[in-house]
C-alpha cells in the first residue's frame, strides 16, 4: 500500500424536484437540523455513504479484477426473498473473493466499504469493530429552503374491478372505492444546493488497509454515485463541485473547509419570491477557500478539484483542476 495522506473533502451537489433525504419523524419532509428561522435543510452522512456504496456495487458486482471492491453493507436476498444478515453477507464475500483466514482480514482485503467506512461485525464467536478512516459530516443546504406539500392521483386501482365485498351479492361502496385511483401526497422542493464536508485519516487508513486507489474510487463514487442512485421523490441530483485537499502532516488539518464556500445570490434573495430554480441562476464563491489554502500552502501537499461545466465559479483555487469522470 502506498503512503496515503490525511486530507479533507468538500462536495457540493444540487437537487431539483425532490428531497434526497427525508425525515420519518416529520411526515417525510426534509430534515431540518437548524431552526425554521435559519431555513436550511440537511442530508445525513448515511445517505451520502449509500450513494457511494450503491455505485461501487453496481460498477464492480464481482469485486473487480483484484476481488477487492466488494461491498459489505448492502441488501441481498435469498432465492425465497429473505434478507441476508451480516454473517451471510460476509460469507458471500469470502466465497466470491476466494480468500481464507480471519473474517476481519478477509473483509478488509475484499470489501471497499470496510476499508473506507469501517464496519461492526459480531457473528457467533467472531466480532470486531473497525473505525473508518473516511468520515462525512452532514450535508447542509447553502441557502434557506422552502419545501412544498403536493398531491396527485395514481390511475391504477388498488383492487381488481371484479372483487366483491364478502358475504354480499352486489358490489359494496368500499370495494367500489378501491377500484378508483389512489391519492398520494408528498413534500418536495423545486431546487436546492448542498455542501458536505469529509475527512480522511491516514493513521486509521493504515489499520484498515485503505489505499490511494480506494481514495480515487471514493471521489469517483461521490460524483457518479450522486447521478447513479435514483428513487422516486429523491429528485434529479447533480454533482457540481468536489475538492480533495491532502496534507503533508498526517496529524494536521485546516478543518471546516466547507465554511469557506458560499452560494450566490445571498440569503435575502432565497427568502424572496425570486429565489433561484436552476444551476444557471447561481454561482459558487470559492475566493475565501482559495485564500485559506494559499495561507496554509506549507502544510498542504496537494489540492485536486472537479467542477461541473454548468456551474459558475467565483474566485481562483490553487492546485490541479481535474476532468470530471
Summarize pLDDT for 120-177 with one digit per residue, the tens.
999 888 889 999 999 999 999 999 998 765 666 666 666 665 655 455 555 555 555 5
- Report whether pLDDT(246) > 50: yes
pLDDT exceeds 50 at position 34: yes
In which band, very low, low, confident or very high, does the pLDDT at 189 lie, cut at 50, 70 and 90? Answer: confident
Is pLDDT at 20 greater than 60 in this prediction? Answer: yes
- Yes or no: say if 196 and 218 are a contact pair by the CB < 8 Å rule: no
Higher confidence at residue 324 or residue 247? Answer: 247
What confidence score (pLDDT) does residue 126 get?
84
Angstrom distances, CA of residue 120 to CA of 73, 114, 144, 259, 286: 10, 9, 36, 32, 38
pLDDT at residue number 17: 86
DSSP secondary structure of 107-119: HHHHBHHHHHHEE
DSSP state of 135: E
C-beta neighbour count of 287 within 10 angstroms: 15
Asked if the model's pLDDT at residue 280 lies above 70, the reply is: yes
The yes-or-no verdict on residue 276 having pLDDT over 90 is yes
Residue 8's nearest CA partner among 193, 317, 255 is: 255
Among 88, 87, 83, 107, which residue's Cα sits nearest to residue 97?
107
pLDDT band at 233 (very low <50, low <70, confident <90, very high): low
- Chain mean pLDDT for the chain: 89
Q: In angstroms, what CA-CA distances link 40 with 34, 44, 142, 152, 214?
A: 6, 13, 7, 27, 32
pLDDT for 70 beyond 70: yes
Distance linking the first and last C-alpha atoms of the chain: 24
Residue 211, pLDDT > 90, answer yes
- pLDDT at res. 229: 77
Beta bridge partners of 304: 244, 320
Per the DSSP assignment, residues forming a β-bridge with 244 are 9, 304
φ, ψ (nearest 5 deg) of residue 316: -115, 140
> Which residue would you say has higher pLDDT here, 97 or 167?
97
Range of weakest confidence among 39-43, 65-69, 197-201, 288-292 = 39-43
Question: Per-residue pLDDT averaged across 261-274, rounded?
Answer: 94
Amino acid at each position: 500500500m502506498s503512503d496515503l495522506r490525511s486530507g479533507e473533502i468538500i462536495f457540493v451537489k444540487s437537487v431539483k424536484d425532490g428531497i434526497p433525504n427525508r425525515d420519518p419523524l416529520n411526515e417525510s419532509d426534509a430534515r431540518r437540523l437548524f431552526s425554521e428561522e435559519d431555513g436550511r435543510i440537511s442530508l445525513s452522512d448515511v445517505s451520502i455513504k449509500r450513494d457511494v456504496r450503491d455505485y461501487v456495487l453496481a460498477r464492480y458486482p464481482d469485486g473487480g479484477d483484484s476481488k477487492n471492491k466488494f461491498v459489505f453493507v448492502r441488501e441481498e436476498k435469498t432465492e425465497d426473498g429473505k434478507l441476508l444478515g451480516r454473517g451471510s453477507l460476509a460469507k458471500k464475500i469470502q466465497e466470491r473473493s476466494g480468500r481464507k483466514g480471519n473474517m476481519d482480514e478477509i473483509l478488509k482485503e475484499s470489501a471497499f466499504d470496510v476499508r473506507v467506512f469501517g464496519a461492526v461485525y459480531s457473528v457467533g464467536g467472531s466480532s470486531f469493530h473497525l473505525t473508518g478512516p473516511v468520515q462525512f459530516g452532514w450535508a447542509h443546504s447553502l441557502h434557506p429552503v422552502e419545501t412544498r406539500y403536493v398531491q396527485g392521483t395514481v390511475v391504477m386501482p388498488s383492487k381488481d374491478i371484479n372483487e366483491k365485498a364478502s358475504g354480499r351479492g352486489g358490489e359494496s361502496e368500499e370495494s367500489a372505492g378501491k377500484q378508483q385511483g389512489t391519492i398520494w401526497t408528498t413534500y418536495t422542493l423545486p431546487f436546492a444546493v448542498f455542501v458536505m464536508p469529509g475527512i480522511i485519516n491516514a493513521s486509521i487508513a493504515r489499520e484498515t488497509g485503505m489505499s490511494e486507489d480506494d481514495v480515487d474510487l471514493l471521489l469517483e463514487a461521490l460524483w457518479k454515485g450522486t447521478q447513479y442512485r435514483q428513487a422516486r421523490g429523491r429528485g434529479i441530483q447533480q454533482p457540481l463541485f468536489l475538492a480533495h485537499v491532502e496534507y503533508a502532516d498526517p496529524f494536521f488539518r485546516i478543518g471546516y473547509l466547507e465554511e469557506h464556500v458560499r452560494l450566490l445570490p445571498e440569503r435575502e434573495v432565497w427568502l424572496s419570491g425570486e429565489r433561484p430554480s436552476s444551476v444557471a441562476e447561481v454561482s459558487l464563491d470559492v475566493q475565501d477557500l482559495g485564500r485559506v489554502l494559499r495561507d496554509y500552502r506549507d502544510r498542504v501537499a496537494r489540492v485536486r478539484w472537479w467542477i461541473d461545466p454548468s456551474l459558475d465559479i467565483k474566485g481562483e483555487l490553487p492546485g490541479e483542476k481535474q476532468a470530471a469522470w
